[in-house]
Amino acid sequence: MMKVSVTINNFHLPDGDLKQMSQLGVDCIDFGNGSSFPGVKEQGYPDLDALLKEKRRIRSWGMDINRVTLPNITESFMNNETDGAEEIENAVNAVKVFGEAGIKIVRQRFAGDVFHGLTTGYEAIQRGGMISRGESLGYTRERAETPTLEEAKFWRERYKEVYRQIVPAAEDYGVKVGMHPSDTPNWDTPFGGLGYHRIIDEFPNKNVGYIYCVGTRAEEGGSSLVLDEINNYGRKERIFLVHFRNVRGSLPTAGAFEEALLDDGDMNMFKIMLELRKVGFDGCLNPDHVPLMEGDNPDTDKKWAHSNIGWNYSSIGFAYSIGYIKAMLAALVEFEG
């Protein structure tokens, strides 16, 4: 049975947050900030004892840790300004620590996996004055340069150099390595449509797969693309976690997109859920990038000022989204009954 997770970007949550999550029926927590774990600043990778202590605390509220993030791979490494041996070693050690802690899904972030300066972000005003993130190609008059083919090939070799070392460690420690798609999915981004698919060509190991973001992929091609990709990756058992969110428009069809609440975008989210069920997905659905409703505070990261990419205490948008997903999961059981 699919479950519900939410993303947090700080390691230690106050009891009030955990209490609200528990009351809403959240099953799991995803840690989105690889530098937030105790030990990363001091030794380059998380401290196992501190991680286990926090895991026990989370489990005391009836939840568990679902996904974590490894220390970031920096621009210096990706541009070959340093040999990066220490960065890779820290990532490998982090995989081992998370594996020893019984955490089964990790994500590795790479500098340069998105192209900035190609779209213009704006505050989208939706139903009842709700605020969400919008991005437009048309509003951008001076667009940034994108990598050449040779530069793109070089970047990809650097990413593969990292994966070649963390994937064997993940296999040894029973950990799955999931990649999130490039967001915004502009043409030729490393983990846009073609580059995203290529990951499992390059690393056919069953421990390599996807943190599949329904919203990001819809930004590139709408619901038809999302349904096709879920069928493709899901029947290969390569979807480890789903970011379950809706959008309006897409870059190819409207030259823009806006994030939306689950019931207020272009996609029929129950159809998305049915497709996930059809391919046997039984992981977590995470309602990230939640629009701002009356009384909600914006995300602490100013890059995401028009949405909440992570959990926010007393967020009406998160409460609505969690409840909506749980209602659909209950309906799914009855639908299949």
Mean pLDDT on 135-159: 95
Q: What is residue 193's predicted lDDT score, i.e. its pLDDT?
A: 87
Q: What is residue 205's predicted lDDT score, i.e. its pLDDT?
A: 96
Among 109, 118, 112, 257, residue whose Cα is nearest residue 186? 118
Q: What is residue 90's predicted lDDT score, i.e. its pLDDT?
A: 97
| Amino acid identity, position 19 | K
Q: What is the percentage of the chain residues whose pLDDT exceeds 70?
A: 100
Integer angstrom CA distances of residue 127 from 10, 98, 124, 263: 30, 41, 10, 11
pLDDT band at 335 (very low <50, low <70, confident <90, very high): confident
pLDDT band at 36 (very low <50, low <70, confident <90, very high): very high
List of residues 6+ apart from 188 with CB closer than 8 A: 115, 146, 147, 152, 195
Q: Which residue has the higher pLDDT, 135 or 298?
A: 135
Among 325, 284, 313, 294, residue whose Cα is nearest residue 20? 313
pLDDT of residue 188 exceeding 80: yes
Taking only the tens place, the pLDDT of each residue in 267-292 is 999 999 999 999 999 999 999 999 99
pTM exceeds cut of 0.85: yes
Q: Could you please state the CATH topology (level 3) that the domain comprising 3-336 is classified under.
A: TIM Barrel (3.20.20)
| Domain spans in the chain, listed from the N-terminal domain onward | 3-336
Mean pLDDT on 167-173: 98
Cα–Cα distance between 103 and 67 in angstroms, integer? Answer: 7
Q: What is residue 97's predicted lDDT score, i.e. its pLDDT?
A: 98
Mean pLDDT on 12-33: 96
> Which two structure tokens, joined as six digits, stand for 78?
């990706």
Q: What is residue 337's predicted lDDT score, i.e. its pLDDT?
A: 65
Taking only the tens place, the pLDDT of each residue in 94-124 is 999 999 999 999 999 999 999 999 999 999 9
- pLDDT, averaged across the chain: 95
Q: What is residue 307's predicted lDDT score, i.e. its pLDDT?
A: 85
Taking only the tens place, the pLDDT of each residue in 295-318 is 888 877 777 778 888 898 989 999
Q: Residue with structure tokens 């791979």?
A: 73
pLDDT of residue 40 exceeding 90: yes
Mean pLDDT on 156-176: 98
